Amino acid sequence: MKYRGDKGNDFQDWQIKKLKDVCEIIGGGTPETNKAEYWNGSIQWFTPTEIKSNFVSKSERTISELGLKNSSAKLLPKGTILLTTRATIGEASITLEECTTNQGFQSLIVNENCNNIFLFNWLKANKYELEKRANGSTFTEISKSEIEKIEINVPSIKEQAKIANCLLSIDTKIDIEVDLLRKLEVQKKYLLADLFI
């Protein structure tokens, strides 16, 4: 599918780049769990089991400024792609606010020539690129250096934005339909309960 500019003109050709050329890749960390002062602060701290939707904002556990300072966890900006890289490889979410992660992630902060929603969707469509580079005996893991080497075919930033907006509108429609389906299932449950009393 080929997108065109606002005036109907063709965008420039796509270019093959390595992931390290379109984003900064940052690992996570865990503060010492036996130090209460490192936990229950104001900083979101995600684990891979929490990556279940396209966007995340609130984590199950939080860390403190002291916990951040005394661990390898890094503060990630809003819009970062959180990418799971241990055991379960290739699950991804975009963070809606600043956060940190544990070491089960390599998070991607896109540069100005890359659209985070475009890259997020590319990662989801090309999960096998991550899985085939993973290794390990106890559990599989993909390293930062392996992720950096992955090649991606990238259009101009304007074409990325058009693609991202199209995919985002489809995802929004899916979310609305899923929510409607849940409501109908609840309605049916109550109706059945009333009918067969």
- Same domain membership, residue 160 and residue 149: no
Is the domain of 131 the same as that of 159?
A: no
**Same domain, residue pair 44 and 96:** yes
Shared domain for 38 and 111, answered yes or no, is yes
**Same domain assignment for residues 83 and 25:** yes
Predicted pLDDT of residue 136: 82
Residues of the domain holding 53: 16-154
Residues 139, 76, 112, CA angle at the centre, nearest 5°? 110
Asked if residue 49 and residue 88 are part of one domain, the reply reads yes
Residue 165 domain-assigned?
yes
At residue 145, the pLDDT reads 96
The pLDDT, as a whole number, for residue 139 is 82
* 64 part of a folded domain: yes
The enclosing domain of 41 has a CATH number of 3.90.220.20
Tell whether 5 is covered by a domain.
Answer: no
Q: Domain for residue 147, yes or no?
A: yes
Q: Of 143, 130, 108, give the one whose Cα is nearest residue 24.
A: 108
The reported pLDDT for the residue numbered 133 is: 92
Which residue, of 120, 136, 154, is where some domain finishes? Answer: 154
Same domain for 164 and 140?
no
Number of domains in the chain: 2
Is residue 10 in a domain? no
Do 125 and 38 lie in one domain? The reply is: yes
Q: Given this model, what pLDDT does residue 138 score?
A: 80
Whether residues 59 and 150 share a domain: the answer is yes
Same domain assignment for residues 41 and 62:
yes
Tell whether 22 is covered by a domain: yes
Burial class (CB in 10 A: 0-12, 13-18, 19+), 182: exposed
SS3 content of the chain, % helix, strand, coil (to 5): 40, 25, 35
pLDDT tens track, the chain, 197 positions: 555 555 556 667 899 999 999 999 999 999 999 999 999 999 999 999 999 999 999 999 999 999 999 999 999 999 999 999 997 899 999 999 999 999 999 999 999 999 999 999 999 999 999 999 998 878 889 999 999 999 999 999 999 999 999 998 998 898 889 889 999 999 988 888 887 76
Question: Does 40 lie in the same domain as 66?
Answer: yes
User: What string of DSSP letters covers 139-155?
Assistant: S-B--HHHHHH-EEEE-
